[in-house]
């Protein structure tokens, strides 16, 4: 690698460490500064809520708006936003289908409702829904957004038109102008999707991140009652030990994905607790597959990973982006480590090196340290380094990813003893759902 390339990577590491992935102490100072400013301006705790009418996660979030306002001393400000920009949604149709399936599955665990047989909502119905909610008063938004969402996800035009009778009817131009204004505010707040809460410099995407928002509000003394969270996810973990045979969990992950890095320690613990064989299947990073990630998404992902890592006690933040040569060199040793039964340890050590230890993943020195750390011989490994045999397997893994309707890492595919797909999920957030599915499988086998 040329010196100029090394300098660029090192500069990127320093910028990322200082600006993009703030340490817990820096985040605490930033929060204190914003809180001091808020008090000086005599402002209430303003929580913005970004609502996209045809987004399943927004439909889940709108069901807890009243509960949030009743539980915390906040001013909840809803903003109706449009579809995400292409630079944040590389596979639009897949995202749409995935979001519907995911929201349908997780809703009951949170005591929420979502169900639809519609994957393509009529554009005219979307406009009606937007018109209704753009004209809805702040204090009525929770109830009306739920009613509108239920009608929209049924493609119930008549119901939507009935609801519209009680609201100001906006022209297409007025809808477009209002949505554009809200989209700009959304970008200013630091996000790109709907179903997102934003409070004083930080965004909280979806139901999964509401507990982080609550923790922050409770720390500020904004809670009206003594409660830990308004969201209590139902769990089967206290049931009898699992007795299942032949269960496989395929993990499609990327060495450049921070969420893959955060998933690995959790999957290691998962493997120790459950009678499941984990099969790791690396894929190329999305950017190396020609996909684009915008600035807002990059910033949010790193900020989100920082707080998840802190919560779970996983080192994170001293980052050197392994994009390109580092990923390729890492993958070139996949077959070697797998034959030694060490692929899990190898990927865990490599990802830790680039995502928390500030090591350049393309350097022989880094790879040597990783190989020796997991008890393998560097001399043997070096003979396999930089081979291209891995590329065919990575392509097979990409096709397997798309076969289950996913495009990003980490994707996890649960299969029974007949190799039938029982569940496919995207993200470290859904490891709990795999656990719940195992218990459901045991119940059905009784």
Concatenating the DSSP letter of every residue in 256-284 gives T-HHHHHHHHHHHHHHHHSSEEEEEEE--
- 335 and 198, same structural domain? no
Average of pLDDT values for 180-198?
Answer: 97
| Span of 28-37, 104-113, 269-278, 286-295 with lowest mean pLDDT | 286-295
- 251 and 171, same structural domain? no
User: Rounded to whole angstroms, how far apart are CA atoms 176 and 429?
Assistant: 34
- 54 and 171, same structural domain? yes
- 294 and 210, same structural domain? no
| Span of 54-58, 70-74, 285-289, 371-375 with lowest mean pLDDT | 285-289
Does a structural domain hold residue 157?
Answer: yes
- 439 and 367, same structural domain? yes
Does a structural domain hold residue 136?
Answer: yes
pLDDT in tens, 341-365: 999 999 999 999 999 999 999 999 9
- 38 and 179, same structural domain? yes
pLDDT in tens, 86-117: 889 889 999 999 999 999 999 999 999 998 87
Range of the domain at 407: 247-445
CATH number at residue 205: 3.40.30.10
Does a structural domain hold residue 225?
Answer: no
Q: Is 132 within 8 Å of 164 (Cβ atoms)?
A: yes
Q: Is 249 within 8 Å of 412 (Cβ atoms)?
A: yes
User: Rounded to whole angstroms, how far apart are CA atoms 26 and 29?
Assistant: 5
Task: Indicate the number of domains in the chain.
Answer: 2
- 261 and 207, same structural domain? no
If DSSP codes are grouped into helix, strand and coil, which group holds residue 150? helix
The pLDDT assigned to 20 comes to 57
pLDDT in tens, 310-334: 999 999 989 999 989 999 999 999 9
- 262 and 188, same structural domain? no
- 39 and 87, same structural domain? yes
Does a structural domain hold residue 94?
Answer: yes
Q: Is 191 within 8 Å of 304 (Cβ atoms)?
A: no
Helical pair 123-134 and 141-152, crossing angle rounded to 10 deg: 170
């Amino acid at each position: 690698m040329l010196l100029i390339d090394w300098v660029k990577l090192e500069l990127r590491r320093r910028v990322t460490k200082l600006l993009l992935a703030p340490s817990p102490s820096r985040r605490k100072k930033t929060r204190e500064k914003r809180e001091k400013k808020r008090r000086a301006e005599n402002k209430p705790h303003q929580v913005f809520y970004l609502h996209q009418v045809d987004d399943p996660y927004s439909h889940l979030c709108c069901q807890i708006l009243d509960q949030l306002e009743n539980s915390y001393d906040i001013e909840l400000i809803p903003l109706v936003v449009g579809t995400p920009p292409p630079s944040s949604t590389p596979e639009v149709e897949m995202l749409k289908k995935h979001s519907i399936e995911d929201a349908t599955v997780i809703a009951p665990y949170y005591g929420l409702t979502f169900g639809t047989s519609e994957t393509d909502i009529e554009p005219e119905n979307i406009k009606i829904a937007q018109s209704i909610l753009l004209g809805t008063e702040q204090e009525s938004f929770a109830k009306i957004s739920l009613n509108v969402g239920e009608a929209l996800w049924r493609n119930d035009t008549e119901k939507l038109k009935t609801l519209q009778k009680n609201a100001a009817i906006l022209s297409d131009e007025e809808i477009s102008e209002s949505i554009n204004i809200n989209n700009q505010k959304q970008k200013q707040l630091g996000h790109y999707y709907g179903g997102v809460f934003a409070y004083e410099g930080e965004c909280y995407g979806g139901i999964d991140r509401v507990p982080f928002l609550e923790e922050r509000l409770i720390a500020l003394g904004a809670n009206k009652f003594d409660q830990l969270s308004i969201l209590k996810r139902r769990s089967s973990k206290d049931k009898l030990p699992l007795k299942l045979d032949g269960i496989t969990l395929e993990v499609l992950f990327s060495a450049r994905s921070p969420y893959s890095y955060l998933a690995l320690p959790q999957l290691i613990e998962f493997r120790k607790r459950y009678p499941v064989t984990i099969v790791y299947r690396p894929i190329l990073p999305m950017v190396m597959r020609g996909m684009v990630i915008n600035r807002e998404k990059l910033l949010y992902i790193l900020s989100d990973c920082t707080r998840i890592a802190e919560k779970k006690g996983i080192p994170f933040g001293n980052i050197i982006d392994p994009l390109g040569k580092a990923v390729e060199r890492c993958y070139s040793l996949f077959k070697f480590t797998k034959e030694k039964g060490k692929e899990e340890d190898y990927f865990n050590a490599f990802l830790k090196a680039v995502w928390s230890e500030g090591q350049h993943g393309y350097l022989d020195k880094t790879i040597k340290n990783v190989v020796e750390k997991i008890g393998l011989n560097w001399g043997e490994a070096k003979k396999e380094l930089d081979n291209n045999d891995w590329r065919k397997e990575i392509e097979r893994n990409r096709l397997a990813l798309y076969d289950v309707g996913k495009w990003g890492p980490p994707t996890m595919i649960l299969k029974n003893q007949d190799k039938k797909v029982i569940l496919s999920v995207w993200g470290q957030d859904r490891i709990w759902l795999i656990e719940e599915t195992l218990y459901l499988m045991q119940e059905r086998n009784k």
